[in-house]
Amino acid sequence: MKLLEDKILNDGKIGEGDVLKVDSFLNHRMDVAFLSKLGEEFYRLYKDCNVNKILTIEASGIGIACLTAQFFNVPMVFAKKTKTVNIFSDVYTSKVESFTHKKTYDIIVSKEFLLPGDRVLIIDDFLAQGSALNGLISLVNDAGAELVGCGIVIEKAFQPGGDLIRGRGIRVESLARIESMSCANGIKFCD
């Protein structure tokens, strides 16, 4: 999506360790009007799929998922992160490894909010190793719901998550796919 690629080039910063910082519009300060255009693009991509629920993960997925849900006119559910290892009988749980924060945490979603027969579109801001996305997919499967596909704002295509998930036959649409990035050479998008 050209609009997003331009925004990343204009407003994104590459920080230490070649980390992409887009917190001026995506995950700290949210440019809501701009993010709504991304939500509209997800709608264009998935509008014929009878989506009846959007699923994301706290925290930075919530904004874009909300704005996307508006176009589909469906509710949004966000999985919660928890460090408690209690066994809850009324939630689906999955494990997610955070490479950024170097820890593993559980994510949970109440069983009453993810139902067999739901047609779920997963929305998230980033896809790199795919750990969060795999965790969300696992929740959808555990619920016996149908996964329509995934909508990602920025995919780090030089990391394996996206291709591994596509390799399982799951539709993954990323609005910007970064082929490479570094302080030295800047950001290059996939064709």
Residue 92 binds its own copies, judged by CB under 8 A:
no
Q: Any idea what DSSP says for residue 87? A: -
Residue 58 binds its own copies, judged by CB under 8 A:
yes
Closest separation between CB of residue 12 and its own copies, Å? 14
Interface residue with its own copies, options 5, 11, 23, 40 (CB under 8 A)? 23
Give CA separation, 54 vs 84, 90, 122, 143, 154, in Å.
25, 20, 6, 14, 18
Closest separation between CB of residue 16 and its own copies, Å? 13
72/131 Cα distance (integer angstroms): 26
By beta-carbon proximity to its own copies, the closer residue of 4 and 67 is 67
Nearest C-alpha neighbor of 107 from the set 88, 129, 128, 127: 88
Nearest C-alpha neighbor of 4 from the set 41, 57, 56: 41
CA dihedral 95, 20, 10, 123 (to 10 degrees): -10
Cross-strand partners of 109 = 92
Closest separation between CB of residue 31 and its own copies, Å? 5
By beta-carbon proximity to its own copies, the closer residue of 34 and 189 is 34
Interface residue with its own copies, options 31, 97, 146, 173 (CB under 8 A)? 31
* Binding characters for its own copies, 60-89, by CB under 8 A (x = yes): x-xx--xx-xx--xxxxxx-x---------
# residues near its own copies by CB under 8 A? 31
Residue 132 binds its own copies, judged by CB under 8 A:
no
103/81 Cα distance (integer angstroms): 12
On whether the CB atoms of residues 121 and 143 are closer than 8 A, the answer is no
Residue 166 binds its own copies, judged by CB under 8 A:
no
Residue 178 binds its own copies, judged by CB under 8 A:
no
23/186 Cα distance (integer angstroms): 17
Interface residue with its own copies, options 14, 30, 45, 170 (CB under 8 A)? 30
What is the end-to-end Cα distance of the chain in Å, rounded?
11
Residues that bind its own copies (CB under 8 A): 23-25, 28-33, 35-36, 58-60, 62-63, 66-67, 69-70, 73-78, 80, 109-110, 112-113
